[in-house]
Structure 1
Amino acid sequence: MKKEKDSQIIAAIDVGSNSIHLVVAQIDDSNNLQVLDTDKTSVRLGGALDAEKRINKQAVQKTVEAITHMKEIAAVHEPNFRAVATHAVRSATNQLELIQEIKKVSGIDVAIIDGIEEARLISLGMLIGLPLDKKTFLGVDVGGGSTEFIVTCNESIKYVSSLQLGAVTLSQRFLYEDKIDGLKPKKSDVVLMERYAAMQLAPVCSEVNKTSFDTAVISSGAAKTLALIHAKEQSQPLLLDPNGYVLTVEAINSIYNKIKSLRSPSAIKSQWGLDQARSEIILAGVCVLNLISNLLGVKKWVVSGFALREGLVLDTYRRLRKSSTNYRDGFDIRWNSILSLGKRCQIDTHQAEQVLKHSLSLYKGLEDSKVDTYDDDDDSLLSNRELLRAGSQLHECGKFISQQRFHHHSFYIISNSRLLGFSQKERLIIGLIARFWRKGTLRLIREDYKFLSARDVDRIQLLSSLIRIAVAGNRTRKGLIDNLYLSKIKSDFYLHIKLKNPKIPIRVDFQKIETEKSVLEKILQKDVHLEVLS
């Protein structure tokens, strides 16, 4: 990513199950967002998955072409790019091939996010578009491949869930016999779809009903289309911006019944002037929303014109702005999720704080010495500092399972936990940092995780070696060392050990540092000399 001074203009790309969206926007510290350009391509990846869950070649090609075109559109603004992929890509068995092809042709790094992170980003977009400050609101987004639910207030999440139930996948499964081709589905097919969707939605809605909220907000193409249809039904002027439009549950039910009576995509298109792609999936999308309304007892919904991609703009802006600040200065969703996982795993917080302090200090020494830290190589990744913070804080979380081979357990816990604010690849890298700081070789990584580049592996190895030294610096767990710092004098590296109390010996900690520095020496291809400072 570009440096902080250029971070006001951001190009966010959302690779969804139905469409690929681009928004180029300028944003400031007050969350004021000015949209500079947008683009949309209907690729329908959710309907391009075969029996083996592979995205077909035609859809891969269309996706690559769409993102390449979007990059060309956005380039005039010289933005910071960030792209994420949601349900269809995370479900695909050939997701790596798709992401690599996108990178090869367009140069854009696409991060796969899970449904929980998707819901969080959607809620950020809603906060930008609507006056929801200090309100507890329910946010629902009925997408092409999944439906997200979130109950939140001031970004403090009360409940969040993602359900594999979307307009494209439902249409393909029940209405169009595995191929959306414009045929008119049978009434019995619609009934089967309703029953299936209600069965899937019931458990999630039951959990949502245990919470309370002041406002119910809906986003996605289905929601905006509903607002457009309702405005036409009420003989209102052409609705150019659905943001803030209010839909009652009675209005939604009435429109759903009309869509059901038409059923045919061509008839739906003709009735309300919808585009072909939307007319083919609106029946399933409104079906889901109508069921949610009934199951939750929601009386009215407020439509948000802003969702995932606008939330991605805000989240990217914050990532760039926070790269030089302390996570502990105020609430931060990523740091809070790291602390929450650490608490659940009952980590030694004092040890974690010592390791965190020492590892960041060591990293700063490398930066000051102009050492290649393999940072800024992948636009979709957090900075090394943020990855190192997370890895340091959670470096012993695997002890919650067992002391024996706890570094293996740490990797499993981190890479499989739903850490809000982190992509799938970021969780994997943090997990590998926690896995390899203690022992083991990184030679197996590329074979097991082929989507990691050679520089990703170098990054993991470097950051894990710093944690290794930081842990050694508090081997006695007595906090005898005040600071560890690396410097380069001419061509030699020095590891400075500043004592808290010169009168207290640090023989055990010193010997452990002397042993563990060998990994860093291999990386630097230089000896690291120890110097004790009183």
Structure 2
Amino acid sequence: MAMSEHGFVVIGAQSVFFSITNLKTLVEVERGAYPVSIGEDIFATHEIQPGTVDQLVVALQTIDQLMTDYGVKSYDIIGTHSFFEAKNSQFVRDQLFSRTGRPVATLTLSQESYYRTQAVLGKFPHFDQITQKGTVLIDISSGSVELTAFANGEFGFSRNLSLGPLRVFEVMGDLQRTVPNPTEVMRDYIDSRLADFMRLLPKNQHYPHMILMGSALSVFNTLIPSGEEMVETDHEGFRLIYQEVVQASDQYLSDHFDLTPTQTAQVLPTVLLVYRLLKTLNAERVWISNLKLLDGIELSAAGEAGSQAAAIDPTREILISAQNLADRYQVDPKHRDSTVNFALQLFDRLKKLHGLGKRERLLLQIAATVNDVGSYVDTHKHYEHSEYIINSSELMGLTMPEQRMVAAIARYHSSDTPQTDLSDLHELNSTRRLIIAKLSALLRVADSLDASRQQKIQKIRVSIQPTRVLLTATATDDVELERWTLQTKGEFFAIVFGLPIELKGKTRL
């Protein structure tokens, strides 16, 4: 088997999915799934039971043998957020490692959202055409619902809600035995949770299209029979499904549609959730897709490997997510863009000093975009507010340590300086602390170059000299404020890189 083949394994709420994919061509050599319902354990007892752990071990061992048969020596095992919601997830993770020799990596909710978005961008038929009109991508897993908005062919924003059908069934389970109309109460419960997402939607944007995907949609395999990879229906077609499900008993659903007890429990919450979204958004067309998180992970890995088959920009949605956060907290767009521009120029022209790579450049760009969000709360010590806002937000595509790093860089872009030994960042390892220090030093300089908030400096030339780093600015006005600000903020640059940084300006009339 060629080295371009790579294995992927995802532990979801209902199954363990796997694939072997040629990263150069994005052709799947093998794909499958083993039904292991950790979701039922988690939502019933909040823990993964020993018997379920045994099933996971068997599934992983079987997949490992398959990987060996295909000659795949290295592959990734990823646990979704459903797996890590279990109170004993870390113990189970350790048990799986002890019994299979394979570690289970974690994903944040924002990473999962990123991979699902990559899946539809790269694999959904006519996606560009469909999203010219407002479109909401809805990924329904057992425990949560990810809602991602698109308009004019562009990603808008994403929001995760704890509205998965198994979770709703758990919360609402007692109602079916205690109230005369549990469906109406469940509808009100779902509507109350959707209110936050609806509040964030642009006021004048219509969303006539919906794309449904996710593990919980397996119930539609029988509700909407099709041998195709994608099913299309409309508002009226889904209304008929909704009426049939709402009026049916569990026994009828189980017998008529050949559903397991677990699927039967999820039918009403799933159909009700989708129908309420249809009504709320006034959507006209619905596409049901079998694309999964696994597809996005494959695409992302192919892109990182330089595959021409993965013809999507892997950072586009990440940067849009950061811009959306900045817009939400009313960051001055002109100063933001100026700071981003200078930060990236400094990064590119000072590579000999910092020695960092593409991912670190992206983190700097994100930090430069969102570093002033704290001013929305209070301009006094706004950098402290920026840190906790960033840590509490969903920045698509970042790992948890990366998001913590961006928050720390934003905090230290101002006058607040990390301790020289970076001991105040004890929760991050030494490598990440050093990256934070380097990127914070660069961001401080970039921010100083627009200290007046008037975008006086049009361009800069960067020169690394034996005793200093010299910035030569071409400006439309006097830059004394920028020079003075840099003298203060540049002290940390000198500590980190061992060279002072100075600004020389020339005014262009």
Q: How high is the TM-score relative to the length of structure 2?
A: 0.72
Q: Who is 2:108 aligned against? A: 112
| Structure 1 residues 63 and 429: alpha-carbon distance in aligned structure 2, compared to 1, 3 A threshold | farther
Residue 499 (str. 1) matches residue 473 (str. 2): yes
2:231 counterpart letter in structure 1: G
Q: Deviations over 1:306-364 (max 9, x none)?
A: 13332344455567779xxxx9x999332223223323333343433333233223323
From 268, 276, 282, the equivalent of 2:263 is: 282
| Structure 1 residues 496 and 39: alpha-carbon distance in aligned structure 2, compared to 1, 3 A threshold | farther
Q: Deviations over 1:436-493 (max 9, x none)?
A: 22214342332xxx4x333222222221121123233444556448436474x7xx67
| Structure 1 residues 403 and 102: alpha-carbon distance in aligned structure 2, compared to 1, 3 A threshold | farther
Q: How many angstroms apart in 1 are the aligned matches of 2:443 and 2:64?
A: 38
From 240, 250, 257, the equivalent of 1:260 is: 250
Q: How many angstroms apart in 2 are the aligned matches of 1:342 and 1:349?
A: 8
CA contact (8 A) 2:388 2:407 kept: yes
From 27, 30, 39, the equivalent of 1:34 is: 27
Q: How many angstroms apart in 1 are the aligned matches of 2:154 and 2:167?
A: 31
CA contact (8 A) 1:485 1:497 kept: yes
Residue 129 (str. 1) matches residue 124 (str. 2): yes
Post-superposition shift, 1:171? 5.3
Q: Who is 1:519 aligned against? A: 492
Q: How many angstroms apart in 2 are the aligned matches of 1:319 and 1:86?
A: 23
Q: Who is 1:462 aligned against? A: 438
Q: How many angstroms apart in 1 are the aligned matches of 2:327 and 2:392?
A: 16
After superposition, the CA RMSD in angstroms is 4.9
From 132, 140, 143, the equivalent of 1:142 is: 140
1:16 counterpart letter in structure 2: G
| Structure 1 residues 45 and 126: alpha-carbon distance in aligned structure 2, compared to 1, 3 A threshold | same
Post-superposition shift, 1:300? 7.8
Q: Who is 1:397 aligned against? A: 373
Q: Who is 2:291 aligned against? A: 306
Q: Who is 1:152 aligned against? A: 150
Q: Deviations over 1:48-73 (max 9, x none)?
A: 44899666788779768967986886
1:113 counterpart letter in structure 2: L
2:435 counterpart letter in structure 1: R
2:15 counterpart letter in structure 1: S
Q: How many angstroms apart in 2 are the aligned matches of 1:80 and 1:174?
A: 39
Identity %: 15
Q: How many angstroms apart in 1 are the aligned matches of 2:437 and 2:92?
A: 27
Paired residues, number: 475
Post-superposition shift, 1:388? 0.2
CA contact (8 A) 2:452 2:482 kept: yes
Secondary structure at the counterpart of residue 500 of structure 1 = strand
Q: Who is 1:164 aligned against? A: 162
Q: How many angstroms apart in 1 are the aligned matches of 2:285 and 2:63?
A: 36
Single out whichever of 467-476 and 50-59 deviates more from structure 2.
50-59
Secondary structure at the counterpart of residue 107 of structure 2 = strand
| Structure 1 residues 129 and 347: alpha-carbon distance in aligned structure 2, compared to 1, 3 A threshold | closer
Q: Deviations over 1:182-216 (max 9, x none)?
A: xxxx9848988745532322346688799755444
From 410, 421, 426, the equivalent of 2:402 is: 426
Q: How high is the TM-score relative to the length of structure 1?
A: 0.69
CA contact (8 A) 1:483 1:498 kept: yes
CA contact (8 A) 2:19 2:28 kept: yes
Q: Deviations over 1:165-194 (max 9, x none)?
A: 32433555666x9xxxxxxxx984898874
Q: Who is 1:218 aligned against? A: 212
Post-superposition shift, 1:415? 2.1
Q: Deviations over 1:202-248 (max 9, x none)?
A: 346688799755444433344344324654xxxxxxx6655337694
| Structure 1 residues 512 and 202: alpha-carbon distance in aligned structure 2, compared to 1, 3 A threshold | closer
1:156 counterpart letter in structure 2: E
| Structure 1 residues 302 and 475: alpha-carbon distance in aligned structure 2, compared to 1, 3 A threshold | closer
Single out whichever of 396-405 and 467-476 deviates more from structure 2.
467-476
Q: Who is 2:393 aligned against? A: 417
| Structure 1 residues 471 and 218: alpha-carbon distance in aligned structure 2, compared to 1, 3 A threshold | closer
Q: How many angstroms apart in 2 are the aligned matches of 1:511 and 1:187?
A: 68
Q: Counterparts in 2 of 1:287-436, with a 5 A limit?
A: 287-292=268-273, 294-295=275-276, 296=278, 301-314=286-299, 332-369=316-353, 371-373=354-356, 383-436=359-412
| Structure 1 residues 79 and 384: alpha-carbon distance in aligned structure 2, compared to 1, 3 A threshold | farther
Q: How many angstroms apart in 2 are the aligned matches of 1:343 and 1:173?
A: 35
